[in-house]
Chains A and B, each alone.
Chain A
Amino acid sequence: MRFRTLEQLAAVCMAEQKTISQIMLEDQARESGRSAEQEQEKMSAYYQVMKAAVRKGLTESTVSRSGLTGLDAQRIMDYRNGSGGSGRSGSSSTVGSSGDMGSIGNSGTPGSPDGDEALLGGPASLALAYALAVSEVNASMGRIVATPTAGSCGIIPGVFVSAQERFVWSDEHMVAGLFCSGAIGYVIANNSFVSGAEGGCQAEVGSAIGMAAGALVELRGGTAAQAVHAVGLALKNTLGLICDPVAGLVEIPCIVRNGFGAVTALAAADMALAGVRSVIPSDEVIQVMLEVGSGMPEKHRETAKGGLARTPTGRRIMRELYGKEKDDDACGMKAARKSKLLRELPRRPKEDTQL
Protein backbone atom coordinates (compact mmCIF):
# COMPACT_ATOMS: atom_id res chain seq x y z
CA MET A 1 0.00 0.00 0.00
CA ARG A 2 1.17 3.51 -0.74
CA PHE A 3 -0.11 4.79 2.60
CA ARG A 4 0.40 3.98 6.23
CA THR A 5 -1.29 7.01 7.73
CA LEU A 6 -4.44 8.95 6.90
CA GLU A 7 -2.31 12.00 6.13
CA GLN A 8 -0.38 9.98 3.51
CA LEU A 9 -3.66 8.63 2.14
CA ALA A 10 -5.10 12.14 1.70
CA ALA A 11 -1.82 13.30 0.14
CA VAL A 12 -1.84 10.50 -2.44
CA CYS A 13 -5.47 11.33 -3.29
CA MET A 14 -4.59 15.00 -3.69
CA ALA A 15 -1.50 14.30 -5.82
CA GLU A 16 -3.31 11.90 -8.15
CA GLN A 17 -6.65 13.72 -8.09
CA LYS A 18 -8.40 10.49 -7.07
CA THR A 19 -10.76 9.43 -4.33
CA ILE A 20 -9.76 7.31 -1.33
CA SER A 21 -11.74 4.39 -2.75
CA GLN A 22 -9.89 4.59 -6.08
CA ILE A 23 -6.51 4.55 -4.35
CA MET A 24 -7.58 1.64 -2.12
CA LEU A 25 -8.83 -0.39 -5.08
CA GLU A 26 -5.63 0.19 -7.07
CA ASP A 27 -3.40 -0.75 -4.14
CA GLN A 28 -5.54 -3.74 -3.22
CA ALA A 29 -5.32 -5.15 -6.76
CA ARG A 30 -1.56 -4.64 -6.73
CA GLU A 31 -1.23 -6.38 -3.35
CA SER A 32 -3.44 -9.37 -4.19
CA GLY A 33 -2.31 -9.90 -7.77
CA ARG A 34 -5.95 -10.02 -8.81
CA SER A 35 -7.69 -7.60 -11.17
CA ALA A 36 -9.54 -4.53 -9.90
CA GLU A 37 -12.73 -6.04 -11.36
CA GLN A 38 -12.24 -9.25 -9.35
CA GLU A 39 -11.72 -7.27 -6.16
CA GLN A 40 -14.82 -5.18 -6.86
CA GLU A 41 -16.83 -8.37 -7.39
CA LYS A 42 -15.71 -9.72 -4.06
CA MET A 43 -16.62 -6.48 -2.30
CA SER A 44 -19.93 -6.38 -4.14
CA ALA A 45 -20.74 -9.88 -2.86
CA TYR A 46 -20.05 -8.63 0.66
CA TYR A 47 -22.42 -5.70 0.11
CA GLN A 48 -25.18 -8.08 -0.93
CA VAL A 49 -24.62 -10.01 2.33
CA MET A 50 -24.95 -6.73 4.26
CA LYS A 51 -28.22 -5.83 2.53
CA ALA A 52 -29.61 -9.30 3.11
CA ALA A 53 -28.71 -8.98 6.80
CA VAL A 54 -30.64 -5.68 7.05
CA ARG A 55 -33.65 -7.34 5.48
CA LYS A 56 -33.41 -10.40 7.69
CA GLY A 57 -33.12 -8.30 10.84
CA LEU A 58 -36.30 -6.40 9.93
CA THR A 59 -38.41 -9.35 8.91
CA GLU A 60 -37.34 -12.46 10.80
CA SER A 61 -36.91 -13.43 14.42
CA THR A 62 -33.58 -12.23 15.77
CA VAL A 63 -33.91 -13.63 19.27
CA SER A 64 -30.38 -14.69 20.21
CA ARG A 65 -29.39 -18.16 21.33
CA SER A 66 -29.06 -16.89 24.90
CA GLY A 67 -32.51 -15.33 24.67
CA LEU A 68 -31.14 -12.02 25.97
CA THR A 69 -31.66 -9.89 22.88
CA GLY A 70 -33.58 -9.58 19.62
CA LEU A 71 -36.29 -7.73 17.66
CA ASP A 72 -35.23 -4.23 18.76
CA ALA A 73 -34.71 -3.13 15.14
CA GLN A 74 -38.32 -4.08 14.42
CA ARG A 75 -39.42 -2.10 17.49
CA ILE A 76 -37.63 0.98 16.10
CA MET A 77 -39.27 0.49 12.68
CA ASP A 78 -42.71 0.30 14.25
CA TYR A 79 -42.05 3.28 16.49
CA ARG A 80 -40.67 5.55 13.81
CA ASN A 81 -43.72 4.89 11.68
CA GLY A 82 -46.01 5.67 14.58
CA SER A 83 -47.40 2.17 14.85
CA GLY A 84 -45.94 1.47 18.29
CA GLY A 85 -45.44 -2.09 19.57
CA SER A 86 -48.17 -4.24 18.07
CA GLY A 87 -49.78 -3.14 14.81
CA ARG A 88 -47.44 -2.70 11.92
CA SER A 89 -47.68 -0.52 8.88
CA GLY A 90 -48.71 -2.50 5.86
CA SER A 91 -47.14 -0.68 2.97
CA SER A 92 -44.00 -2.01 1.44
CA SER A 93 -41.14 -0.66 -0.56
CA THR A 94 -37.80 -1.88 -1.77
CA VAL A 95 -34.47 -1.65 -0.04
CA GLY A 96 -31.57 -0.60 -2.18
CA SER A 97 -31.81 1.42 -5.36
CA SER A 98 -31.30 -1.59 -7.58
CA GLY A 99 -34.37 -3.13 -6.00
CA ASP A 100 -32.68 -6.50 -5.80
CA MET A 101 -33.51 -6.92 -2.14
CA GLY A 102 -37.17 -7.13 -3.00
CA SER A 103 -39.99 -6.16 -0.76
CA ILE A 104 -39.44 -5.90 2.94
CA GLY A 105 -43.05 -6.95 3.36
CA ASN A 106 -45.20 -5.75 6.17
CA SER A 107 -42.73 -5.17 8.94
CA GLY A 108 -42.61 -1.43 8.45
CA THR A 109 -41.83 0.87 5.60
CA PRO A 110 -38.09 0.90 5.11
CA GLY A 111 -36.91 3.49 2.69
CA SER A 112 -39.99 5.59 3.16
CA PRO A 113 -39.30 9.29 3.67
CA ASP A 114 -41.32 9.38 6.88
CA GLY A 115 -40.23 8.18 10.27
CA ASP A 116 -41.20 11.58 11.65
CA GLU A 117 -42.31 10.00 14.90
CA ALA A 118 -38.67 9.44 15.82
CA LEU A 119 -36.92 12.28 17.62
CA LEU A 120 -33.94 11.63 15.37
CA GLY A 121 -36.07 12.16 12.27
CA GLY A 122 -36.43 9.78 9.36
CA PRO A 123 -32.93 9.19 7.94
CA ALA A 124 -31.05 8.90 11.24
CA SER A 125 -33.69 6.66 12.81
CA LEU A 126 -33.54 4.44 9.72
CA ALA A 127 -29.74 4.13 10.04
CA LEU A 128 -30.27 3.30 13.73
CA ALA A 129 -32.83 0.60 12.92
CA TYR A 130 -30.74 -0.95 10.15
CA ALA A 131 -27.61 -1.06 12.32
CA LEU A 132 -29.54 -2.76 15.12
CA ALA A 133 -31.01 -5.17 12.57
CA VAL A 134 -27.61 -6.36 11.36
CA SER A 135 -26.18 -6.63 14.87
CA GLU A 136 -29.21 -8.64 15.96
CA VAL A 137 -28.79 -10.94 12.96
CA ASN A 138 -25.19 -11.44 14.09
CA ALA A 139 -26.22 -12.20 17.68
CA SER A 140 -28.79 -14.73 16.45
CA MET A 141 -26.23 -16.57 14.31
CA GLY A 142 -27.26 -15.03 11.01
CA ARG A 143 -24.96 -14.19 8.11
CA ILE A 144 -23.03 -10.91 8.32
CA VAL A 145 -19.76 -9.38 7.17
CA ALA A 146 -17.18 -8.49 9.83
CA THR A 147 -16.71 -4.68 9.42
CA PRO A 148 -14.12 -4.67 10.89
CA THR A 149 -15.34 -7.28 13.42
CA ALA A 150 -18.51 -9.25 14.06
CA GLY A 151 -19.11 -7.19 17.21
CA SER A 152 -19.21 -3.98 15.16
CA CYS A 153 -20.84 -5.44 12.04
CA GLY A 154 -24.00 -3.26 12.17
CA ILE A 155 -22.60 0.24 11.79
CA ILE A 156 -21.39 0.25 8.18
CA PRO A 157 -24.42 -1.62 6.77
CA GLY A 158 -26.77 0.56 8.85
CA VAL A 159 -25.26 3.76 7.50
CA PHE A 160 -24.67 2.50 3.94
CA VAL A 161 -28.01 0.83 3.20
CA SER A 162 -30.10 3.66 4.67
CA ALA A 163 -28.06 6.30 2.81
CA GLN A 164 -28.32 4.31 -0.43
CA GLU A 165 -32.12 4.37 -0.22
CA ARG A 166 -32.24 8.04 0.71
CA PHE A 167 -29.92 9.31 -2.00
CA VAL A 168 -30.77 6.63 -4.59
CA TRP A 169 -27.17 5.54 -5.02
CA SER A 170 -26.10 2.58 -7.16
CA ASP A 171 -24.58 -0.57 -5.70
CA GLU A 172 -21.35 0.35 -7.53
CA HIS A 173 -21.24 3.62 -5.59
CA MET A 174 -21.74 1.73 -2.31
CA VAL A 175 -19.01 -0.77 -3.18
CA ALA A 176 -16.64 2.16 -3.76
CA GLY A 177 -17.67 3.40 -0.32
CA LEU A 178 -16.69 0.05 1.19
CA PHE A 179 -13.21 0.35 -0.32
CA CYS A 180 -12.99 3.83 1.25
CA SER A 181 -14.08 2.38 4.62
CA GLY A 182 -11.54 -0.40 4.22
CA ALA A 183 -8.71 2.08 3.58
CA ILE A 184 -9.56 3.97 6.76
CA GLY A 185 -9.85 0.70 8.74
CA TYR A 186 -6.54 -0.51 7.31
CA VAL A 187 -4.78 2.58 8.68
CA ILE A 188 -6.50 2.33 12.09
CA ALA A 189 -5.87 -1.43 12.41
CA ASN A 190 -2.17 -1.20 11.55
CA ASN A 191 -1.47 1.84 13.74
CA SER A 192 -3.73 0.93 16.65
CA PHE A 193 -6.18 -1.97 16.88
CA VAL A 194 -9.67 -3.13 15.86
CA SER A 195 -10.42 -5.84 18.41
CA GLY A 196 -12.08 -5.41 21.79
CA ALA A 197 -9.72 -7.91 23.40
CA GLU A 198 -6.78 -5.68 22.48
CA GLY A 199 -8.16 -2.16 22.77
CA GLY A 200 -11.70 -2.19 24.16
CA CYS A 201 -14.92 -1.22 22.41
CA GLN A 202 -13.33 2.00 21.09
CA ALA A 203 -11.26 -0.26 18.84
CA GLU A 204 -14.25 -2.11 17.41
CA VAL A 205 -17.25 0.22 17.44
CA GLY A 206 -15.07 3.34 17.41
CA SER A 207 -13.17 2.17 14.34
CA ALA A 208 -16.38 1.19 12.55
CA ILE A 209 -17.87 4.66 13.17
CA GLY A 210 -14.74 6.34 11.80
CA MET A 211 -14.79 4.05 8.76
CA ALA A 212 -18.48 4.73 8.10
CA ALA A 213 -18.17 8.48 8.63
CA GLY A 214 -15.19 8.87 6.30
CA ALA A 215 -16.86 6.82 3.59
CA LEU A 216 -20.09 8.83 3.86
CA VAL A 217 -18.13 12.02 3.26
CA GLU A 218 -16.65 10.56 0.08
CA LEU A 219 -20.00 9.13 -1.06
CA ARG A 220 -21.56 12.60 -0.66
CA GLY A 221 -18.84 14.20 -2.74
CA GLY A 222 -16.58 15.53 0.01
CA THR A 223 -12.81 15.68 -0.39
CA ALA A 224 -10.36 13.11 0.91
CA ALA A 225 -9.18 15.67 3.47
CA GLN A 226 -12.76 16.09 4.71
CA ALA A 227 -13.18 12.32 4.92
CA VAL A 228 -10.03 12.15 7.06
CA HIS A 229 -11.37 14.89 9.34
CA ALA A 230 -14.58 12.90 9.77
CA VAL A 231 -12.53 9.93 11.02
CA GLY A 232 -10.79 12.04 13.66
CA LEU A 233 -14.03 13.72 14.75
CA ALA A 234 -15.73 10.34 15.12
CA LEU A 235 -12.88 8.59 16.92
CA LYS A 236 -12.60 11.36 19.49
CA ASN A 237 -16.16 10.63 20.55
CA THR A 238 -15.49 6.97 21.40
CA LEU A 239 -12.04 7.21 23.01
CA GLY A 240 -11.98 5.24 26.23
CA LEU A 241 -15.00 3.09 25.48
CA ILE A 242 -14.51 -0.24 27.26
CA CYS A 243 -15.47 -3.72 26.05
CA ASP A 244 -17.59 -5.21 28.85
CA PRO A 245 -20.04 -7.64 27.28
CA VAL A 246 -22.48 -9.34 29.65
CA ALA A 247 -21.65 -13.05 29.93
CA GLY A 248 -18.97 -12.51 27.29
CA LEU A 249 -21.61 -12.54 24.56
CA VAL A 250 -21.74 -10.17 21.57
CA GLU A 251 -25.11 -8.82 22.70
CA ILE A 252 -25.20 -6.47 25.70
CA PRO A 253 -24.15 -3.67 25.17
CA CYS A 254 -22.75 -4.45 21.70
CA ILE A 255 -26.02 -4.32 19.78
CA VAL A 256 -27.22 -0.92 20.99
CA ARG A 257 -23.72 0.48 20.58
CA ASN A 258 -23.97 -0.42 16.90
CA GLY A 259 -27.20 1.58 16.73
CA PHE A 260 -25.64 4.57 18.47
CA GLY A 261 -22.60 4.16 16.26
CA ALA A 262 -24.57 4.54 13.03
CA VAL A 263 -26.12 7.81 14.28
CA THR A 264 -22.74 9.12 15.40
CA ALA A 265 -21.25 8.34 11.99
CA LEU A 266 -23.92 10.51 10.34
CA ALA A 267 -23.14 13.33 12.76
CA ALA A 268 -19.38 13.11 12.15
CA ALA A 269 -19.88 13.07 8.37
CA ASP A 270 -22.19 16.07 8.55
CA MET A 271 -19.66 18.01 10.58
CA ALA A 272 -16.83 17.22 8.16
CA LEU A 273 -18.95 18.04 5.10
CA ALA A 274 -19.87 21.37 6.73
CA GLY A 275 -16.17 22.17 7.06
CA VAL A 276 -15.66 21.28 10.71
CA ARG A 277 -12.09 20.10 11.20
CA SER A 278 -10.48 17.75 13.67
CA VAL A 279 -7.95 20.15 15.22
CA ILE A 280 -6.01 17.19 16.61
CA PRO A 281 -5.08 15.43 13.33
CA SER A 282 -6.85 12.10 12.82
CA ASP A 283 -3.58 10.13 12.83
CA GLU A 284 -2.81 11.58 16.26
CA VAL A 285 -6.28 10.60 17.50
CA ILE A 286 -5.56 7.05 16.32
CA GLN A 287 -2.39 7.13 18.45
CA VAL A 288 -4.48 8.24 21.42
CA MET A 289 -6.75 5.25 20.87
CA LEU A 290 -3.64 3.05 20.97
CA GLU A 291 -2.45 4.74 24.17
CA VAL A 292 -5.84 4.49 25.90
CA GLY A 293 -6.42 0.91 24.79
CA SER A 294 -2.96 -0.24 25.79
CA GLY A 295 -3.54 1.16 29.28
CA MET A 296 -7.02 -0.31 29.60
CA PRO A 297 -7.32 -2.93 32.36
CA GLU A 298 -7.75 -6.51 31.20
CA LYS A 299 -11.15 -6.64 32.90
CA HIS A 300 -12.38 -4.04 30.42
CA ARG A 301 -11.12 -5.82 27.32
CA GLU A 302 -13.65 -8.49 26.33
CA THR A 303 -13.14 -10.72 29.37
CA ALA A 304 -16.56 -10.12 31.00
CA LYS A 305 -14.69 -9.54 34.25
CA GLY A 306 -15.59 -5.86 34.63
CA GLY A 307 -17.97 -3.10 33.63
CA LEU A 308 -21.54 -3.99 32.72
CA ALA A 309 -20.71 -7.70 32.90
CA ARG A 310 -19.96 -7.42 36.63
CA THR A 311 -23.00 -5.42 37.67
CA PRO A 312 -25.45 -7.29 39.93
CA THR A 313 -27.71 -7.88 36.95
CA GLY A 314 -24.83 -8.80 34.65
CA ARG A 315 -23.66 -11.39 37.18
CA ARG A 316 -27.15 -12.77 37.63
CA ILE A 317 -27.51 -13.20 33.85
CA MET A 318 -24.19 -15.00 33.72
CA ARG A 319 -25.19 -17.32 36.55
CA GLU A 320 -28.45 -18.12 34.81
CA LEU A 321 -26.69 -18.86 31.53
CA TYR A 322 -23.67 -20.76 32.75
CA GLY A 323 -24.47 -21.77 36.31
CA LYS A 324 -21.37 -19.97 37.44
CA GLU A 325 -19.46 -16.75 37.06
CA LYS A 326 -16.91 -16.62 34.33
CA ASP A 327 -13.88 -15.54 36.36
CA ASP A 328 -14.33 -18.54 38.63
CA ASP A 329 -11.84 -20.59 36.67
CA ALA A 330 -10.67 -22.97 39.38
CA CYS A 331 -13.95 -24.81 39.75
CA GLY A 332 -15.39 -23.60 36.48
CA MET A 333 -15.53 -26.87 34.61
CA LYS A 334 -17.31 -28.76 37.34
CA ALA A 335 -19.83 -25.98 37.79
CA ALA A 336 -20.38 -25.75 34.05
CA ARG A 337 -21.06 -29.46 33.76
CA LYS A 338 -23.65 -29.24 36.51
CA SER A 339 -25.39 -26.29 34.93
CA LYS A 340 -28.71 -26.45 33.18
CA LEU A 341 -27.18 -25.57 29.83
CA LEU A 342 -24.88 -28.53 29.67
CA ARG A 343 -27.41 -31.00 30.93
CA GLU A 344 -29.44 -30.23 27.82
CA LEU A 345 -26.66 -31.34 25.52
CA PRO A 346 -26.82 -34.72 23.79
CA ARG A 347 -24.76 -37.45 25.43
CA ARG A 348 -23.48 -40.58 23.81
CA PRO A 349 -23.03 -44.10 25.18
CA LYS A 350 -19.80 -44.50 27.09
CA GLU A 351 -18.10 -46.87 24.63
CA ASP A 352 -18.34 -44.21 21.93
CA THR A 353 -15.81 -42.06 23.75
CA GLN A 354 -13.08 -44.66 23.27
CA LEU A 355 -11.26 -43.45 20.19
Chain B
Amino acid sequence: MRFKDVFSIIGPAMVGPSSSHTAGAVRLGRAARRLLGVQPEKAEIRLYGSFADTFRGHGTDLAVVGGILDFDTDDERIPHSLELAASLGIGIDVRPGKGLAAHPNTAEIKLVGAGRKALLKGASIGGGTIEVEQVNGFDVRFSAVYPTLLIFHADRMGMIAEITGLLSRQKMNIGSMDLDRKGRSGDALTVIESDSGFNAELLESLAAIPDVGDIRIIDWTEGSM
Protein backbone atom coordinates (compact mmCIF):
# COMPACT_ATOMS: atom_id res chain seq x y z
CA MET B 1 0.00 0.00 0.00
CA ARG B 2 1.51 3.32 -1.07
CA PHE B 3 -0.72 5.25 1.31
CA LYS B 4 -0.53 3.88 4.80
CA ASP B 5 -3.19 5.65 6.80
CA VAL B 6 -5.96 8.24 6.93
CA PHE B 7 -3.54 11.12 7.54
CA SER B 8 -1.67 10.43 4.32
CA ILE B 9 -4.99 11.33 2.65
CA ILE B 10 -6.28 14.09 4.97
CA GLY B 11 -3.18 16.18 5.68
CA PRO B 12 -0.61 17.54 6.11
CA ALA B 13 -1.53 21.02 7.27
CA MET B 14 0.64 23.25 5.16
CA VAL B 15 1.13 26.66 3.67
CA GLY B 16 0.17 26.55 -0.02
CA PRO B 17 0.21 26.37 -2.92
CA SER B 18 1.85 23.01 -3.69
CA SER B 19 2.66 19.99 -1.57
CA SER B 20 5.72 19.22 -3.73
CA HIS B 21 6.94 22.74 -4.55
CA THR B 22 6.14 24.32 -1.18
CA ALA B 23 5.72 21.81 1.68
CA GLY B 24 8.54 19.56 0.39
CA ALA B 25 10.77 22.60 -0.12
CA VAL B 26 10.22 23.66 3.51
CA ARG B 27 11.35 20.22 4.65
CA LEU B 28 14.50 20.36 2.51
CA GLY B 29 15.44 23.74 4.02
CA ARG B 30 14.67 22.50 7.51
CA ALA B 31 16.78 19.37 7.03
CA ALA B 32 19.72 21.62 6.07
CA ARG B 33 19.10 23.78 9.16
CA ARG B 34 19.13 20.74 11.45
CA LEU B 35 22.31 19.57 9.73
CA LEU B 36 24.05 22.85 10.56
CA GLY B 37 22.55 22.76 14.04
CA VAL B 38 22.40 26.55 14.53
CA GLN B 39 20.85 29.57 12.87
CA PRO B 40 23.06 30.21 9.85
CA GLU B 41 24.77 33.47 8.95
CA LYS B 42 24.65 32.73 5.25
CA ALA B 43 22.55 30.51 3.03
CA GLU B 44 23.16 29.72 -0.60
CA ILE B 45 20.29 27.91 -2.35
CA ARG B 46 20.37 26.50 -5.85
CA LEU B 47 17.18 25.22 -7.46
CA TYR B 48 16.99 22.73 -10.31
CA GLY B 49 14.42 21.42 -12.80
CA SER B 50 10.80 22.32 -12.13
CA PHE B 51 11.89 24.07 -8.91
CA ALA B 52 14.00 26.42 -11.05
CA ASP B 53 11.22 26.90 -13.60
CA THR B 54 8.37 27.75 -11.25
CA PHE B 55 9.87 28.70 -7.90
CA ARG B 56 8.64 32.27 -8.04
CA GLY B 57 4.99 31.36 -8.47
CA HIS B 58 5.10 28.46 -6.02
CA GLY B 59 7.07 30.32 -3.38
CA THR B 60 9.68 27.57 -3.39
CA ASP B 61 12.38 30.11 -2.45
CA LEU B 62 10.29 31.36 0.48
CA ALA B 63 9.60 27.77 1.49
CA VAL B 64 13.26 26.71 1.54
CA VAL B 65 14.21 29.83 3.52
CA GLY B 66 11.30 29.15 5.90
CA GLY B 67 12.73 25.71 6.47
CA ILE B 68 16.16 27.22 7.10
CA LEU B 69 14.47 29.32 9.80
CA ASP B 70 13.28 25.96 11.27
CA PHE B 71 9.60 26.53 10.37
CA ASP B 72 7.18 23.63 10.00
CA THR B 73 5.25 23.16 6.71
CA ASP B 74 2.19 25.00 8.06
CA ASP B 75 3.97 28.03 9.53
CA GLU B 76 2.24 31.18 8.31
CA ARG B 77 5.50 33.13 8.51
CA ILE B 78 6.74 31.24 5.41
CA PRO B 79 5.50 33.90 2.93
CA HIS B 80 7.58 36.47 4.86
CA SER B 81 10.64 34.28 5.32
CA LEU B 82 12.94 36.38 3.11
CA GLU B 83 12.25 39.54 5.13
CA LEU B 84 12.54 37.59 8.39
CA ALA B 85 15.88 36.15 7.32
CA ALA B 86 17.10 39.64 6.39
CA SER B 87 16.00 41.02 9.75
CA LEU B 88 17.95 38.24 11.47
CA GLY B 89 21.01 39.20 9.45
CA ILE B 90 21.05 35.98 7.44
CA GLY B 91 22.51 36.49 3.97
CA ILE B 92 20.31 34.65 1.46
CA ASP B 93 21.31 33.91 -2.10
CA VAL B 94 18.71 31.90 -4.00
CA ARG B 95 18.68 31.29 -7.74
CA PRO B 96 18.47 28.50 -10.34
CA GLY B 97 21.55 26.27 -10.39
CA LYS B 98 23.60 25.39 -13.42
CA GLY B 99 23.15 22.04 -15.13
CA LEU B 100 20.57 19.35 -14.61
CA ALA B 101 19.63 17.37 -11.53
CA ALA B 102 18.46 13.76 -11.41
CA HIS B 103 15.01 14.64 -10.05
CA PRO B 104 12.96 17.57 -11.44
CA ASN B 105 12.39 19.10 -8.00
CA THR B 106 15.90 19.33 -6.57
CA ALA B 107 17.46 21.89 -4.23
CA GLU B 108 21.06 22.31 -3.13
CA ILE B 109 21.49 24.21 0.13
CA LYS B 110 24.74 25.48 1.62
CA LEU B 111 24.63 26.98 5.11
CA VAL B 112 27.39 28.71 7.07
CA GLY B 113 27.15 29.60 10.75
CA ALA B 114 29.01 29.39 14.06
CA GLY B 115 32.20 28.52 12.18
CA ARG B 116 30.54 25.49 10.61
CA LYS B 117 29.34 24.60 7.13
CA ALA B 118 26.52 22.34 6.01
CA LEU B 119 25.76 21.18 2.50
CA LEU B 120 22.57 19.32 1.70
CA LYS B 121 21.15 18.27 -1.64
CA GLY B 122 17.76 16.66 -1.97
CA ALA B 123 14.55 16.35 -3.97
CA SER B 124 10.86 16.85 -3.24
CA ILE B 125 9.26 13.71 -4.61
CA GLY B 126 5.53 14.47 -4.12
CA GLY B 127 2.92 15.07 -1.45
CA GLY B 128 5.45 16.94 0.69
CA THR B 129 7.75 13.93 0.94
CA ILE B 130 11.48 14.58 0.44
CA GLU B 131 14.50 12.48 -0.37
CA VAL B 132 17.88 13.77 0.77
CA GLU B 133 20.62 12.64 -1.63
CA GLN B 134 23.79 14.24 -0.38
CA VAL B 135 25.08 15.58 2.96
CA ASN B 136 28.41 17.42 3.28
CA GLY B 137 29.74 15.59 0.22
CA PHE B 138 28.58 12.15 1.37
CA ASP B 139 26.15 10.26 -0.87
CA VAL B 140 23.47 9.14 1.55
CA ARG B 141 19.73 8.76 1.06
CA PHE B 142 17.02 9.36 3.63
CA SER B 143 13.48 10.76 3.82
CA ALA B 144 13.35 12.27 7.33
CA VAL B 145 9.86 10.77 7.62
CA TYR B 146 11.18 9.10 10.78
CA PRO B 147 13.54 10.54 13.43
CA THR B 148 16.91 10.56 11.68
CA LEU B 149 20.37 10.43 13.25
CA LEU B 150 23.48 11.54 11.35
CA ILE B 151 26.78 10.42 12.84
CA PHE B 152 30.00 11.77 11.34
CA HIS B 153 32.92 9.49 12.17
CA ALA B 154 36.20 8.03 10.98
CA ASP B 155 35.99 4.96 8.76
CA ARG B 156 37.31 2.12 10.95
CA MET B 157 36.54 -1.49 11.70
CA GLY B 158 33.83 -2.08 14.29
CA MET B 159 32.37 1.42 14.18
CA ILE B 160 28.94 0.37 12.83
CA ALA B 161 28.74 -2.48 15.36
CA GLU B 162 29.44 -0.05 18.22
CA ILE B 163 26.81 2.42 16.99
CA THR B 164 24.11 -0.18 16.40
CA GLY B 165 24.99 -1.89 19.67
CA LEU B 166 24.22 1.31 21.58
CA LEU B 167 20.87 1.67 19.77
CA SER B 168 20.05 -1.94 20.52
CA ARG B 169 20.83 -1.40 24.23
CA GLN B 170 18.30 1.49 24.18
CA LYS B 171 15.77 -0.93 22.62
CA MET B 172 15.58 1.22 19.51
CA ASN B 173 14.58 -0.28 16.17
CA ILE B 174 16.43 0.89 13.06
CA GLY B 175 13.99 1.42 10.18
CA SER B 176 16.63 2.12 7.57
CA MET B 177 20.33 2.90 7.44
CA ASP B 178 22.79 4.31 4.93
CA LEU B 179 26.49 5.11 5.03
CA ASP B 180 29.20 6.54 2.83
CA ARG B 181 32.89 7.28 3.24
CA LYS B 182 35.24 9.60 1.42
CA GLY B 183 37.93 6.93 1.25
CA ARG B 184 39.34 3.99 3.18
CA SER B 185 40.14 5.09 6.74
CA GLY B 186 38.85 8.55 5.82
CA ASP B 187 35.81 10.51 6.92
CA ALA B 188 32.50 8.66 6.97
CA LEU B 189 28.84 9.37 7.62
CA THR B 190 26.26 6.94 9.00
CA VAL B 191 22.57 7.83 8.73
CA ILE B 192 20.00 5.97 10.79
CA GLU B 193 16.22 6.35 10.56
CA SER B 194 14.51 5.04 13.69
CA ASP B 195 10.92 4.35 14.73
CA SER B 196 11.37 6.48 17.86
CA GLY B 197 13.21 9.63 18.89
CA PHE B 198 16.75 9.76 20.28
CA ASN B 199 17.31 10.47 23.98
CA ALA B 200 20.17 12.38 25.61
CA GLU B 201 21.68 9.25 27.14
CA LEU B 202 22.03 7.63 23.71
CA LEU B 203 23.55 10.75 22.22
CA GLU B 204 26.09 11.00 25.05
CA SER B 205 27.16 7.41 24.67
CA LEU B 206 27.41 7.76 20.89
CA ALA B 207 29.59 10.86 21.28
CA ALA B 208 31.85 8.91 23.63
CA ILE B 209 32.71 6.33 20.95
CA PRO B 210 36.32 6.91 19.81
CA ASP B 211 36.56 8.53 16.35
CA VAL B 212 32.96 9.80 16.41
CA GLY B 213 32.72 13.48 15.47
CA ASP B 214 29.61 15.58 15.04
CA ILE B 215 26.18 14.08 15.64
CA ARG B 216 23.07 15.69 14.17
CA ILE B 217 19.38 14.87 14.53
CA ILE B 218 16.68 15.59 11.95
CA ASP B 219 13.38 14.92 13.70
CA TRP B 220 10.21 16.91 13.25
CA THR B 221 7.79 14.10 13.96
CA GLU B 222 6.86 15.48 17.39
CA GLY B 223 4.50 18.42 17.43
CA SER B 224 4.19 18.34 13.68
CA MET B 225 0.80 18.34 11.98
Could you tell me which A residues sit within 8 Å of B by CB distance? Answer: 1, 24, 28, 31-32, 39, 42-43, 45-46, 49, 64-66, 137-151, 153, 156, 178-179, 181-183, 185-186, 189-190, 194-195, 197, 211, 247-251, 304, 321-322, 326, 332-333, 336-337, 341-342, 345-348, 352-353, 355
Contacts and interface: CB of A to CB of B under 8 A. Distances in A.
B22 A66 contact: no
Given A138-B16, A141-B62, A355 B96 contact: no
A195 B9 contact: no
Contacts of B50: 248
Q: Which of B7, B44, B78 has the most CB of A within 10 A?
A: B7
Contact of B16 (A144, A179, A355): A144
Q: A-B pairs with the 10 shortest C-beta distances?
A: A138-B16, A182-B6, A185-B9, A250-B17, A249-B57, A141-B79, A189-B3, A248-B54, A66-B57, A348-B93
B11 A146 contact: yes
Interface string B40-70: 0010100000101110111101100000000
B225 A46 contact: yes
Contacts of B44: 352-353, 355
Contacts of B2: 189-190
Given A45-B225, A336-B52, A346-B92, A355 B57 contact: no
Size class of the contact patch on chain B = 35 or more
B121 to A, nearest CB: 13
Contact of A150 (B5, B7, B23): B23
A137 B79 CA distance: 12
Given A28-B6, A326-B54, A345-B94, A141 B22 contact: yes
Contact of A183 (B6, B7, B14): B6
Contacts of A141: 15-17, 22, 59, 62, 78-79
Contacts of A321: 56-57
Interface of B: 1-20, 22-23, 42, 44, 50, 52-54, 56-59, 61-62, 74, 76, 78-79, 82, 86, 91-98, 110, 112, 117, 119, 126-128, 225
Q: Which of B13, B50, B57, B127 has the most CB of A within 10 A?
A: B57
A322 B56 contact: yes
Contacts of B94: 345
Contacts of B59: 65, 141
Given A45-B225, A142-B16, A333 B96 contact: yes
A183 B61 CA distance: 34
B9 A345 contact: no
6 contacts: A145-B10, A146-B127, A149-B19, A195-B126, A333-B96, A348-B42
B127 A142 contact: no
Nearest to A25: B6
B13 A144 contact: yes
B13 A49 contact: yes
A186 B11 contact: no
B93 A352 contact: yes
A268 to B, nearest CB: 18
